[in-house]
Structure 1
């Protein structure tokens, strides 16, 4: 039986719920493949609109990136306003930019309406390591304010040091519409909400075959689902069940550690603000405190989603560079998880066969954007297509190098940008 990876998140939930395995033939309006945030948001928003929804999960609710990520509510997409406005026409860019803060709003609304206890804390810091990055944050603040975000504050080196406890940064931008959560608790809360609305969730129910046509059938090992619509929401964990979409992005791994609970003395200089932080590097580091006062620190990318042999050995030097006062601190948990990277770094939403939809490729911004994706999908199936279609109009490019060389070429490109970060050019 597939269970959650050995992470702080999974270990901190005392009573992990179990959903049944599909062992019969059933029918529904919409069959959602994948019980991560994309699938859960889709199922929840559709259930709220009265659709009969079935969710199929190969492992456990929140098994993939949803239950393993840094837990940070980060606004916008992996490409921000400046790139979007330079890359797409005015109509498309305006539509995309007008949605860049909505994912976080959706999360806060779900937490409030369904009383989801997931350790939510407002406040996110984007930290600059050099003057070039700080100038970029000034431009980002101005761009975000153009689209109605007025809860932003620039911080100088002294202010960011006071907020983080680290002297690594020359300045920062504080976003009070950002924040952090326990992502697995949020996923499980969303699953409960779906069930309360009549939606059905099945775990240990890996999809083995898809029958397309006017009446799609989704097959698992022991059952099947007849549906009017199918939503493919497996992201980096979808596998090869549908090559039409899985060949348009590559899975990548990121690593996270969680320390032992910190002492009151340590907490005086480790994130006294309790904001979450990410730096502005291409291969960025991110960190925050958990509800029980552990430092959760993540960073780095493994292209092709290979699991490193020693996650702690990769992350500890980064953590101790930011917080030298934690040299030698005990690490209680170390894990890895996969996200799906697109060539454009923009998410991929679309449809094929008229009744098969897909949501994927958040490129590191999945916590918020996946929640937006589910809402847009529910709008699309309900006859309001404009916002979903703005994303669906984006071209999906394959990575250069073909099947054998796309991963090493992508890693080479990342190394180039990482060098530019270090040289501040």
Structure 2
């Protein structure tokens, strides 16, 4: 099969084809809360709701983790969207440190919850030029000053920082594990059931509707489509990736990100390389709701794979995912109308911060308060 034929499939390397699927919503059902979106944040939200004794129905336009939650690079990184020293400058030292420690604890929780999906091997921030080397040193100093684990790194991948507490994971495996557990615990989940209309007390889909006390919209990419009130605050971009056939040797024992985080890659346990990036160099066409790979960015990724990484293994997968971005890098976690909460716009940090926002949204919807919300939302 040629690269072009595989690209047309737009299948992430994480998908092994084993998912049996969940039913469509084809009737009217009732619940205390309806969660729209069965990605990492939505599933975490549902888990928190079940722990609080709340009945819950979850619906998704596609499959479990069919969006960015199951199509991303598989990084588990502590901290905010900003590098730590930039977060200190933007949010103040106390808030930046609390965010870092809270996200680090969430990485621990994710690891304990789905250990088969996670590898706690650390991560590398690799500098692309002298300017970024200097920025890595500034980050190193700020993290050391606050007692956070970090080491200066010079190795085969390049020069930069080693963050030993970070990790890598299979995002699709984690989400599917959570979905099956929720179903076993009494939550009702429905795939291929897009929300065509939502308001306080009701979510409509083509096949049925959910009558509920509260609605939580847990969607990252395309959030502004589903909740028009967020247009202008959240903007969807396309992130693109490729994966290769397995390499015979381990070249990258830790996930790496480079050039201010615009390129990222990891080597999977079976030897494959999963690589993505170049959203910024793709220009305006990358600000799109379309989740199909595009030739311009795919060619840049290919060149990086062959040239910078020196990997000549055949490319077996090409895919893309819609991801929500905000101007300040802080996520949406708001009651957009009475009884309707929305969360998303994680700016590429949804694996960890999205999970935290999911739990916060459940707490806010049920109790009206969550100590997590002030960490990630502008005052």
Question: Shorter-chain TM-score: what band?
Answer: 0.7 to 0.9
Question: Which of these residues, 296, 314, 330, is aligned with residue 300 of structure 2?
Answer: 314
Residue pair 1:107, 1:371 contacting (<8 A) in 2 also: no
The match for 1:154 is: 152
| CA-atom RMSD in angstroms | 2.3
CA distance in structure 2 between the aligned counterparts of 1:143 and 1:321, rounded to whole angstroms:
33
The normalised TM-score by structure 2 is 0.88
Residue 294 of structure 1 is matched in structure 2 by 272
Partner of residue 35, structure 1: 38
CA–CA separation in structure 1 for the residues paired with 2:53 and 2:115: 21
Contact map agreement 1:350 1:391 (CA 8 A) in 2: no
Return closer, same or farther for 1:392/1:295 CA change in 2, 3 Å cut-off.
closer
Aligned counterparts of 1:286 and 1:241: Cα–Cα separation in 2: 29
Deviations 1:301-345 (A, max 9, x none): 122245444364231101122223x24x31111111111111112
- What CA distance in whole angstroms lies between the structure 2 residues aligned with 1:180 and 1:291? 10
How do residues 153-232 of structure 1 correspond to structure 2 at under 5 angstroms?
Answer: 153-156=151-154, 160-161=155-156, 164=157, 169=158, 171-212=159-200, 216-232=201-217
CA pair 109-84 structure 1, distance change in 2 beyond 3 A: closer
| Secondary structure of 1:75 counterpart | coil
Task: Say whether 1:278 aligns with 2:264.
Answer: no
Mapped to 1, the partners of 2:67 and 2:293 lie a distance apart of: 17
> In the aligned structure 2, how far is the partner of 1:258 from the partner of 1:40?
26
Q: Structure 1 unaligned runs (5+)?
A: 395-425
Of the structure 1 ranges 372-381 and 52-61, higher mean CA displacement relative to structure 2 is found in: 372-381
1:385 aligned residue = 370
Q: Which residue of 2 aligns with 1:105?
A: 105
Partner residue in 2 for 1:140: 139
Q: Does residue 1:254 correspond to 2:239, yes or no?
A: yes
Shift of residue 180, structure 1, vs aligned partner: 0.5
- Please list the CA deviations of residues 107-142 of structure 1 after superposition, one character each: whole Å capped at 9, or x if unmatched: 4424424x5521524211111123322222232233
TM value normalised by structure 1? 0.79
SS of residue in 2 equivalent to 1:23: coil
Deviation at 1:201, TM superposition (A): 0.9
Quote the Cα distance in structure 2 between the aligned partners of 1:240 and 1:347.
16
- For the pair 1:131 / 2:130, whether they are aligned, the reply is yes
| Counterparts in 2 of 1:28 and 1:221: CA distance versus 1, 3 Å | same
Structure 2: gaps spanning 5 or more residues: 1-8, 280-285
Which residue does 2:328 correspond to in 1? 344
Q: 1:316 to 1:194 in 2, by over 3 A?
A: same
Query: 1:364-423 deviations in whole A, cap 9, x for unaligned?
Result: 1111111111122233333543431443444xxxxxxxxxxxxxxxxxxxxxxxxxxxxx
- 8 Å CA contact 2:330–2:378 kept in 1: the answer is no
Count of aligned pairs between the two proteins: 362
How big is the shift at 1:40? 1.1
Structure 1: which 4+ aligned runs deviate by more than 6 Å? none
1:356 matched residue in structure 2: 340
2:228 equivalent among 243, 247, 267: 243
Counting only pairs closer than 5 Å after superposition, residues 1-20 of structure 1 correspond to structure 2 as: 5-10=10-15, 12=16, 14-20=17-23
The CA deviation at 1:148 is 4.7
